Structure formats: C-alpha cells, structure tokens
Structure 1
Amino acid sequence: MKGILLLENGQKFYGTMLMDEPAVGEVVFNTGMTGYEETFTDPSYAGQIITMTYPLIGNYGVFHEIDQADRPYAAGFVVSELCDEPSNWQCEGTLADFIRAHHIPCLYGVDTRAITRAIRSHGVMKGVIVPETMSEEDVQKLMAKPLETQVVRQVTTKEIKHVGDGKYHVAVMDYGAKANILHDLVRNGCRLTIFPAETKAEDVLAINPDGIFLSNGPGDPRDIPYITEEVKKLIGKKPIFGICLGLQLLGLSLGGQCRKLTFGHRGSNHPVKDVRTNRVYITSQNHGYVIDEASLPDNVVVTHRNLHDNTLEGFEVPDKQIMCVQYHPEASPGPTDNLYLFTQFVSMMEDK
C-alpha cells in the first residue's frame, strides 16, 4: 500500500507502507550505518518516528540477543531500502517480520536523506505516517493528536527486579534503561536492584545500596518534575552515575536549565572530547535535549563536550560523588573506548 510521511510544516514524502497502520509522533533521524535493531528497540525512542539516514536497512536481519528492550517502543520507522533477504550467520529473521510482529507502522522506499535535510533545516517536527488513500480530514485529525509527554511511564519496569550477583549493590532507576547498560554494570561486578521510575528516594535508600544509577529514557526531562524531586533527595547520599536522561535529571536537580536541540544528536559516530585529557571519543548518542553548562553551579566540573556543537556531554560533582555523561558508552562504537566510565563508577563506590 502506498503511504505518506506528512510533516507538520506541510512537507510530504511518499513510499510504501509495510502494514495498513498509521502513526503519529515526533520525527527524528539517526545517522548510524549499523545498529538498526538496537535503535529500533531502544526505549529512548518511545513516541518518535525514526528515520534512518543510512539507506540499507535490514541487510543483516535481526538477532534478538542484541535487543535493548522486550519490544520496540518507537511510534514508527521510516527507511529507504528495507531488505527482505538478509545475510548474517546470526540472523534469526527479517526486520520486516519483526516490525510486523510488533505492529510498528513502517514506511519504506522513501528518500530518507531528503527527510533528514528537512529536519536539519526546520528542526524536529511532529509527523504522521498514513495511507495515501486516507482522507484529508482524517489525516488532519491524526496530526492534531497531542504527543504523549509521559513516555517514561510507558517504558519503565512495572515492578522491582534483581539482576546479577556482584560485590557492589547498585540501585538502578529505570527510566527506560537499555539492556546493554545493565549488562555492563553486571560485568563490572555489580548486582542490581532495578526500581520503577517513580519510586520514592526513601525506598531506594532503604536498601542501602553502594551506588545509584540513573538510566537513559525518552522525552523532555522538564515533563517529569516529580522524578527530578526524588533525584534531588538522592544527591549526596550515595555515589551516583547517570547516562543521557540521567544526566539531564541530575542537571535539573542541581539547579541547571535544559533546552531542546534543533534536531538532536542521534547516531553512532559523534565525536566527544574529554576536556581533562584532550582525548576524543567516537560515541553513540540519542538525545534531543541538553543541559546548559552556564546554568550549573560552581561545584560542577565539566568533563566532556560535543565537538559538533560544543554542547555539554558530561560532568562530575566531586563533593557529591556524582558522575554522568550525555552519550551512551554501553553502545560501544569504539567498541571499548568508553567502558572506562563503568570502571570509574565502581572506583567511586569503593572510595565512598
């Protein structure tokens, strides 16, 4: 069935719908040349229509051991070429079948690089994927549907979970944690108690963890002030490590200001500089918001900056035992360049 991606500025992009299911969401683009399955199953994409700039998608099929969540949470998927004959020794099926199984609207045969240019020019926009035959009235009704702001509630664990049996007991605040993050914590000698996102700080501290991890997750951190209030109560009580949304919540909790990026940072090839060592890392990223460095208090030490736009990518608060980064070290584009951060967190727990 022929379909259309319609952006809120009126631009239309034509392709073929994998299923007769419409979608509405914030349209974003990802520049990664590999990793489409990890992208597709990353809970941080909840509520978003993902456009892949790399044209060959699905060429190595799917391998469920690398899924980052129990299911995809994206609102939709837009690709140029959707391969139906994958080739890989680990392949367990086609990406198309995986998308159908989870009923995620998908538009393929699209000029995704033209979509990317549109988003780079105008910024991220709301969009809809609809059949070409849908009436204009129904299309506009779908476009008028407000975007969900409480997406963390969709992706967080619904109950407390326990993972690993290592020496260091870490309380994980699950705002949409990727599986690889949990694996890397366990590999570094941690045993995890994973809490739902809205757990009260008092309940987290009651288990007397050695450290606290604040995970990645979807959406605007300013939409969840009730979570920020609980993070404030955790600061200074235990060593804290935050990634992505975790950094943003820490920044807000410390009195910092957050703003939305024009088109975000999403991909596996973003250069980030460790300002302490002047070493540049190639990083995986997925965020649409950033903490303004100038708004943070004087006891915050900036550790990392993005070399594309000089935005804040990491900071520490030594007197509060806080460390955090905006990018995703667990995605391993290096592949092991950024895993030192997990070791650093363990050292911080040892020294507490």
Structure 2
Amino acid sequence: MKQSRPRLTSLSGRSPAILVLEDGTCFEGLSAGAPGSTVGEVVFNTSMSGYQEIATDPSYRGQLITYTMPHIGNYGVNALDNESVGTQAAGIIVRSLSRRASNQRSEQGFEDWLVERGVVGICEVDTRELTRRLRQGGVGLAAIVHDATAQDSAAALELIAAHPGYGSVDYVSEVATTRALRVSAEDAWQSPLKLTPADVAEQEHSDGPHVVVMDFGVKFSILRHLLARGMRVTLMPRDADRAAVEAQRPDGVLWSNGPGDPDKMEPFIAGVRELSERYPTMGICLGHQLLAKAFGGETFKLGFGHRGPNQPVQNQRDKSVAMTSQNHGYAVRRESFPEELEITHVNINDDTISGFSHRHLPVHAVQYHPEAGPGPNDATSFFDDFARELAGRHASGT
C-alpha cells in the first residue's frame, strides 16, 4: 500500500490522522477541525486566499477540499465572508494550519470555526503530492479518519465502500431553499444578507428591476452583486413552476450555481427551458450546464475539474481574456452543442466551453464565477450586462 508520511509526528497535542483514497493510497497526517471521520469526493482548489468562502460555497457539498496553498487560516474568519448559511465542505485537507489569526476583520480562528461547525479535517499532509495524484488519476472518493495510522487503512476503505458515489447523490436538495425568500441588505457588501419568507416580507420601496434567482445552491456573493446593482432579488426553490415564478412578476431569471452531477437535475430541465423562453435569463456554473441541457446539450465529468481563481477564459467575439474564478467538476460537451446556442467563451487551459448565448433569445450563461468570491474581478461586467438588460425590460413594462 502506498503511503505518504507527515512532516511532523506531533503538533500541539494533535492526534494522528489519515487520508485514504479509494485506490488505497494512504496519507498520514495530524487531526484538524472537529474530531471524527468523514467521506467525500476529494478535490483541490488553487486559491491563495479565500479559504472561508471556499468552505462555505454550496458547490462543495459532499467534497473534501484540498487547499494547495500551504499555509491556511492565518487571517481568521468573519461572518461577512460566508457564501452560505452553513459550512458545505465534507472535510478539509491542508499542509499547514495556522494556530494564530492576524487580521483586523478576523472574528474567530479558522480551526475554532471548523470545530464549531463540525467539519473534520487533516493537516501536515503533503498536499503537493496529493494534488499531483488527483491531476494524474482524477478525483474520487476518500476518507479522513482521526486517531488512526496507516495500519487502519482497511477500515477507512470500508467507510469509502459504504458511501454512495458522488454523482449518485442529489446534493442540491441539501443546500437549496424550499420556499420563496426575499433577499435584502442594508449595504450590499458591508451588511449581512437578510433572507425573509416572501409571504411575510415587507413591501419593498425600491423601484429597481426584479430578478428571480432559481436556487440550486446559490453563493451569497451572487446575491450581493445583484443587490449592488439596484435589483430587487427573490430566491425561489428549484421546483418552482412557471406560474409560481410569474406570480413574482420578475424582469428576469438567474439559474444559480450548485453541487453535484447536472444529470441529477433532469426533472427540472423542462422548467428551465420554459422560463428561459419567457424571460431574460442568466446562468452561472451549474446554471450554465442546466441551460445547455435545456436546449439539447449534454454534460460530462472532467478528470479533476476546474477549481481556483486563475482560470483564463477568452471571449470568442472580441478575443479578450479574463482571469476567472471557477469551481466545477462537469462541463458542457462540444460534440453535442446545440445549433441554436453560440459559444461565447472558452477556457484557454483545455478548450472547454466557458460561456454561451442563445442566438435568438436573451439567454446568457457562463461556466465560471463572475462574482469571484474568492478570486479576481475581471468578469463582473457579466452582472452589469444582465442589469442593463433587465433595466430595459423593467422600464418598458414588458
């Protein structure tokens, strides 16, 4: 059995821990976060900062996050940087976990935050070797087990064998809203988001365009970008039908990001097409995949996905390049791409489809995250374009 041993045998009284991949590879390390064990699809993210946003991103539901940045936790965490109500990662894997947080915005240490939220982790792991293995062999299930050494690998493999495959689970049902919610904030960027049931929300005084966000696991940063552009925002459950959406009298619809295999969302595809033929539409990440499927496209699983803030995307119309934040394990297949859609953006690294528009309808989608959270702000103009489109529709009263 292949093994990778920790750099240190003890650190502040931490117990031994192991990370075991489904092929039997064992990485020995030390316990971090909440005590216990956890199983998930092991992936890696190349961000140098933003560990809190990553851990709270609903798209990471059911996954063990490997942070390739070797030193994690040095600036702590704070409530405003959360990308959802809870912590979504199934577990975290780091090289070195900071024991001290130093930043004026810090409200709590990263590890204390993990313990409080019940997130199991492992530190003192050779994350470079782990990332190399994932790039070469692809992602798969893995287990983190505390109070264990390489001799306990067989028990960890039993945990993995008993766990459902990542693509077989409907993770969206675990992270998305089940009722309509009004989204508001005193300040789009400096205040907590308020999510109020739509049937009891106070009458809004804003006269801005109204966007319905179909929730498959939306990140808070997306909602903040919409609010910052003067839009009224309503979050709707993924199974809301056309009548329920029309009752909100929106000017446009946004299909959000979210976790899991887009093929698990097949029951909702007809509704995606029906609404996109009725309203100006925007799709992000999983929303991009759902819109492609709604018009006849297909998706496939990438070997190790795109997860990080340094993914170069080229606009096919003007050939400009933007550095984008991405987090997805699936992509739209070129070979079956629908004729009625036009590819507008391409990932320069592997030539996968990163964005498209409908040739006749106001439907636009991107595979990257224009809101970043974390990442560069090169692509935020996507929200500006959507806001202008909705403002025109709102002003005309159509």
TM-score bracket, normalised by the shorter chain, equals over 0.9
What residue is the counterpart of 1:304 in the other structure? Answer: 345
Structure 1 residue 235, shift from structure 2 partner? 2.2
Q: Is the 8 A contact 1:282 1:333 kept in 2?
A: no
Q: Give the structure 1 partner of residue 321 of structure 2.
A: 280
Within a 5 Å distance, the mapping from 1:1-352 to structure 2 comes to: 1-18=15-32, 19-131=34-146, 132=148, 135=152, 138-144=155-161, 145-147=163-165, 149-164=169-184, 165=206, 167-331=208-372, 335-352=376-393
Give me the TM-score of the superposition, normalised by structure 1: 0.96
Q: Is the 8 A contact 2:309 2:375 kept in 1?
A: no
CA distance in 1, matches of 2:376, 2:61: 26
**If the length of structure 2 is used for normalisation, what is the TM-score?**
0.85
Paired residues, number? 352
CA distance in 2, matches of 1:350, 1:33: 36
> 1:307 & 1:51 partners in 2: Cα distance?
24
* Contact preservation (8 Å) 2:309, 2:376: no
SS of structure 1 residue aligned to 2:101: coil
Question: Does the residue aligned with 1:199 lie in a helix, a strand or coil?
Answer: coil
Partners of 1:12 and 1:31 in 2: how far apart?
22
Following the alignment from structure 2 to structure 1, what is the Cα–Cα distance between the partners of residues 179 and 348? Answer: 39
Question: Which structure would you say has the larger Rg?
Answer: 2
Query: What is the CA-CA distance between 1:197 and the residue it aligns to?
Result: 1.9
Deviations 1:53-88 (A, max 9, x none): 110100111122111011111111000000011211
Please report how far the alpha carbon of residue 191 of structure 1 lies from its aligned counterpart in structure 2 after TM superposition.
Answer: 0.4
Q: Could you list the runs of 5+ residues in structure 2 that have no partner in the other structure?
A: 1-14, 185-205, 394-398
RMSD: 1.6
Gaps of 5+ in 1: none
Distance 2:371 2:209 in 1: 19
In the TM superposition, structure 1's runs of 4+ consecutive aligned residues that sit over 3 Å from their partners are 133-138, 332-336
| Cα pair distance change 1:337/1:136, threshold 3 Å | closer
Query: Kindly, what percent of the aligned residue pairs are identical?
Result: 41
- Would the aligned equivalents of 1:269 and 1:283 in 2 still touch at CA under 8 Å? yes
Deviations 1:146-174 (A, max 9, x none): 14611000000132111244511111101
Contact conserved, 1:283 with 1:329, CA < 8 A, in 2? yes
**In structure 1, distance between residues paired with 2:327 and 2:270:** 24
- Partners in 1 of 2:23 and 2:72 — Cα distance? 27
CA distance in 2: counterparts of 1:248 and 1:130, whole angstroms? 34
CA distance in 1, matches of 2:385, 2:375: 18
Which amino acid in the other structure matches residue 129 of structure 2?
A
Q: Which residue identity lines up with residue 108 of structure 1 in the other structure?
A: C
- Secondary structure at the aligned position of 1:329 is classed as coil
